[in-house]
């Protein structure tokens, strides 16, 4: 019965576009909260996993989206978000007037403002709603959302937000502000990972006991959320991607674009971006972002811990 | 009776060299713990304040130090430490063999190793013991010490350390390791302050609500100890120095020296140092280190909060 509403549902119909590690968890959180959820992804495997978990597959997006009360877009970037809305098979013209579009991709605030204006011209409410919290919290409906949009956009999105997030920051009454807050967070996160890797590998170069460095720094004024979270990967020599180098190639790239456009110098972010580019260029783009430590080690001869077999 | 031991004391005689905001607190903590404490400073005012608080003034350092069981050096840098020990009026030749020298200045580990070797050749134990925690914790005897040195150096320093600190990390059996840990912390702290100022002023440039930015970031993955601690100064527009720009001109300068000598690239630290140099060059060297935000604002036209009158 793909494509037809599940009449046992009481919360309305939600379409989730993008069933990656975040989108899958968000789709299942919506389902758990009583939404009738249809999922779409370019990967047939991802859709199959969603169906196996009890979700319904989109059959034809531009058709199925007509019944949606809310669409949650959990794609990678601004270009994909624009494609979802206004591309060749875009949904902007099919969405119900008065329904809500929740845009979760991290993007330049200027683009969020542009997309929102284009969609709202069609009577659909755009909520600028970047997320944070990671896959585990997405699966539990415990994300943090940095949201901005019109009161109507918040109203259209409210039930879905409540299902997916424990913390929704309401950051303004227009699209772009949510994106701007998220980019400030990404600037700091990206710089802090690079600083953490610069520091721990410098400690290795000097022959310090790295477990002790971790113990001392996490109890000192040099600590950061990212140092505490990422350096254990370096200590274990395990660069299995929890969050990949390419994420910060993208996000610090957006910071550079914003900085250029705003005429605002960002020397720290610029230096950090070069390290992510080096890691990506060296073939580590899909590895964990703590792989910056391996670049520092390559550039200096420092010896880092190797993964236990 | 300046210069003669106070026979009511049971913990021995301690000489504290440097009665600045940290040294004063450390000297008084030693006194509270039962040491007979003699204090020295180039500033007669500082010495007078110490005497008023119940301490004793050094009359002639090279003489008075002969009775000391432990000397605590709380001067600004390696050059001053070297001057205290081996300068024209240096104390190295006067100190009791078997007594302890606790060196608290932040410095290049290579210099700590050199000073330790020179002093130990005279039979005096050198403890490499940089401190953190700030003036308020110094006054309460609640510092954190990152210490390394021989077992004999730890033994000679133990009672004084216990009086001044609640946490003593024992980081190795040779001078230099304490200094190296401290420098790793300073690298991170210096970069994080610069990143915090880059981010908050970028938020200002975009017209975001800065109090809200502080609320969101301190609850997010972009947080750091320094963001949380320093950004309130920017929000209040109050750059009264709690820790001055020149501290990080010095400490990131040491990082550059170490990096050069170790052939270890530090792009993040290098970018941060340029911002501290800019702030110092612009006349803010003795202002709070959160003044980097004012440099970003000058360079971009961003408007930061002004201090309430």
Q: DSSP letter string over A77-138? A: SHHHHHHHHHSTT-STTTSPTT-EEEE-S---HHHHHHHHHHHHTTT-EEEE--EESHHHHH
Same domain, B138 and B242: no
What average pLDDT does the segment B83-87 reach?
Answer: 97
Q: Contacts of residue A225 in chain B, CB cutoff 8 Å?
A: 220-224
For position B110, which CATH number holds? 3.40.50.720
pLDDT per position as a tens digit, B221-239 = 999 999 999 999 999 999 9
Question: Which pair of structure tokens corresponds to residue B174?
Answer: 């040779």
Inter-chain CB pairs, A–B, below 8 Å: 211
pLDDT at B61 over 90: yes
| pLDDT value for A4 | 53
Residue A238: φ, ψ to 5°: -115, 105
pLDDT per position as a tens digit, B269-305 = 999 999 999 999 999 999 999 999 999 999 999 999 9
Residue in A with minimal Cα distance to B230 = A221
For position B295, which CATH number holds? 1.10.1040.10
Same domain, A258 and A139: no
Same domain, B196 and B286: yes
Between CA B178 and CA B181 the distance in angstroms is 5
Catalytic residues of A: 182
| End position of a domain, from candidates B120, B153, B173 | B173
Nearest-10 crossing angle of helices B177-205, B225-236: 50
| pLDDT value for A8 | 52
- Residue at B305 is within a domain: no
Instruction: Establish if B197 touches chain A: CB-CB under 8 angstroms.
Output: no
Say yes or no for a CB contact (<8 Å) between B221 and A206. no
| End position of a domain, from candidates B173, B188, B212 | B173
Bridge partners, residue B128, by sequence:
B103, B148
Residue A281 DSSP code: I
- Residue at B169 is within a domain: yes
Instruction: Establish if A297 touches chain B: CB-CB under 8 angstroms.
Output: no
Say yes or no for a CB contact (<8 Å) between A195 and B196. no
Among the residues of chain B, which ranges form H helices? 21-32, 44-52, 61-64, 78-86, 109-120, 134-139, 151-164, 177-205, 210-218, 225-236, 245-262, 267-279, 292-300
| pLDDT value for A233 | 98
Same domain, B47 and B149: yes
| pLDDT value for A133 | 85
Within 13 Å of residue A123, how many CA atoms lie on the same side as its CB?
A: 7
Same domain, A216 and A251: yes
pLDDT per position as a tens digit, B132-184 = 988 889 999 999 999 999 999 999 999 999 999 999 999 999 999 999 999 99
Instruction: Establish if A171 touches chain B: CB-CB under 8 angstroms.
Output: yes
Q: Is B207 left (phi over 0), alpha (psi -120 to 50) or beta?
A: left
Q: Which residue has the tokens 């309130």?
A: B232
| pLDDT value for A212 | 98
Within 33-52 of A, beta carbons closer than 8 Å to B belong to none
Residue in B with minimal Cα distance to A275 = B267
Question: Which pair of structure tokens corresponds to residue A288?
Answer: 């964990």
Same domain, B127 and B271: no
B169 vs A181, A216, A301: nearest CB: A216
Say yes or no for a CB contact (<8 Å) between B217 and A184. yes
Decide if B78 contacts B51 (C-beta within 8 A): no
Same domain, A192 and A167: no
Say yes or no for a CB contact (<8 Å) between B264 and A202. yes
Q: Contacts of residue B186 in chain A, CB cutoff 8 Å?
A: 222
Q: How far is A57 from chain B (nearest CA, A)?
A: 33
Instruction: Establish if B177 touches chain A: CB-CB under 8 angstroms.
Output: yes
Decide if A141 contacts A55 (C-beta within 8 A): no
Between CA A285 and CA A276 the distance in angstroms is 8
| pLDDT value for B8 | 53
**Stated length of chain B:** 309
Same domain, A19 and A167: yes
Tell me which of B185, B191, B292 to substitute to probe the interface with A (most A C-beta atoms closer than 10 Å): B191
ipTM of model: 0.94
A225 vs B188, B191, B223: nearest CB: B223
Decide if B225 contacts B192 (C-beta within 8 A): yes
Instruction: Establish if A150 touches chain B: CB-CB under 8 angstroms.
Output: no
Between CA A47 and CA A45 the distance in angstroms is 5
| pLDDT value for B79 | 97
Q: Which residue has the tokens 């005497």?
A: B51
- Residue at B92 is within a domain: yes
Pairing between β-strand B100-103 and β-strand B125-128 as defined by DSSP bridges: parallel
pLDDT at B1 over 50: no
Decide if B163 contacts B35 (C-beta within 8 A): yes
B268 vs A188, A198, A221: nearest CB: A198
Instruction: Establish if A22 touches chain B: CB-CB under 8 angstroms.
Output: no
* Alpha carbon distances (Å) from A58 to A53, A72, B136, B137: 15, 13, 62, 61
- Residue at B128 is within a domain: yes
Between CA A71 and CA A65 the distance in angstroms is 8
Decide if B240 contacts B288 (C-beta within 8 A): yes
Q: Which residue has the tokens 């020397």?
A: A267
Q: Contacts of residue B268 in chain A, CB cutoff 8 Å?
A: 191, 194-195, 198, 268, 271-272, 275
A202 vs B187, B213, B296: nearest CB: B187
Same domain, A247 and A145: no
Between CA A43 and CA B70 the distance in angstroms is 70
pLDDT per position as a tens digit, A163-199 = 999 999 999 999 999 999 999 999 999 999 999 999 9
- Residue at B306 is within a domain: no
Instruction: Provide the residue range defining the domain that includes B293.
Output: 180-300
Same domain, A87 and A197: no
Percent of chain B with pLDDT over 90: 93
Q: Contacts of residue A206 in chain B, CB cutoff 8 Å?
A: 109, 180, 262
**Stated length of chain A:** 309
Instruction: Establish if B29 touches chain A: CB-CB under 8 angstroms.
Output: no
Between CA B204 and CA A23 the distance in angstroms is 32
Q: Contacts of residue B128 in chain A, CB cutoff 8 Å?
A: none
Q: Note every long-range contact of A256-261, with CB atoms under 8 Å and residues 24 or more positions apart, other chains counting.
A: A257/A108, A258/A108, A258/A109, A258/A110, A258/A183, A258/B202, A259/B202, A261/A110
B299 vs A196, A219, A265: nearest CB: A265
Say yes or no for a CB contact (<8 Å) between B188 and A196. yes
| pLDDT value for B4 | 53
Q: Contacts of residue A223 in chain B, CB cutoff 8 Å?
A: 188, 224-225
- Residue at B227 is within a domain: yes
Same domain, B238 and B278: yes
- Residue at B241 is within a domain: yes
- Residue at B1 is within a domain: no
Q: Contacts of residue A264 in chain B, CB cutoff 8 Å?
A: 201-202, 205, 296, 299-300, 302
B202 vs A187, A195, A219: nearest CB: A187
Between CA A10 and CA A35 the distance in angstroms is 7
Decide if A127 contacts A147 (C-beta within 8 A): yes
Number of domains into which chain B is organized: 2
Between CA A92 and CA A62 the distance in angstroms is 9
SS (H, E, C) B284-304: HCCCEHHHHHHHHHHHHCCCC
| End position of a domain, from candidates A142, A174, A206 | A174
Same domain, A29 and A170: yes
- Over chain A (309 residues), the average pLDDT of each successive run of 10 is 52 96 96 96 96 95 96 97 96 97 97 98 98 90 97 98 97 98 98 98 98 97 97 98 95 98 98 98 98 98 92
């Amino acid at each position: 019965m793909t494509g037809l509403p599940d009449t046992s549902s009481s919360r309305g119909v939600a379409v989730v576009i993008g069933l990656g590690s975040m989108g899958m968890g968000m789709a299942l959180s919506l389902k758990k909260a009583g939404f009738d959820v249809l999922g779409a992804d370019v990967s047939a495997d991802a859709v199959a996993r969603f169906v196996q978990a009890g979700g319904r597959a989109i059959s034809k997006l531009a058709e199925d989206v007509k019944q949606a009360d809310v669409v949650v877009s959990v794609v990678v970037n601004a270009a994909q978000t624009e494609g979802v809305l206004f591309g060749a098979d875009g949904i902007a013209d099919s969405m119900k007037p008065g329904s809500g579009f929740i845009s979760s991709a991290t993007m330049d605030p200027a683009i969020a403002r542009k997309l929102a204006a284009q969609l709202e011209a069609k009577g659909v409410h755009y909520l600028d709603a970047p997320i944070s919290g990671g896959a585990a919290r997405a699966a539990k409906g415990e994300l943090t959302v940095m949201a901005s949009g019109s009161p109507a956009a918040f109203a259209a999105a409210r039930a879905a937000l409540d299902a997916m997030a424990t913390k929704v920051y309401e950051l303004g009454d227009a699209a772009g502000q949510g994106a701007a807050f998220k980019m400030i967070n990404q600037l700091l996160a990206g710089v802090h990972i690079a600083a953490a890797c610069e520091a721990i590998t410098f400690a290795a170069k000097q022959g310090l006991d790295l477990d002790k460095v971790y113990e001392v720094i996490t109890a000192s004024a040099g600590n950061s959320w990212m140092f505490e979270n990422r350096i254990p990967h370096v200590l274990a020599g395990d660069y299995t991607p929890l969050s990949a180098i390419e994420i910060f190639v993208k996000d610090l790239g957006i910071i550079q674009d914003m900085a250029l456009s705003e005429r605002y110098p960002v020397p720290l972010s610029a230096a950090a971006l070069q390290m992510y580019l080096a890691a990506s260029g060296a073939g580590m783009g899909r590895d964990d972002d703590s792989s910056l430590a391996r670049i520092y080690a390559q550039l200096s001869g420092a010896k880092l811990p190797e993964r236990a077999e």
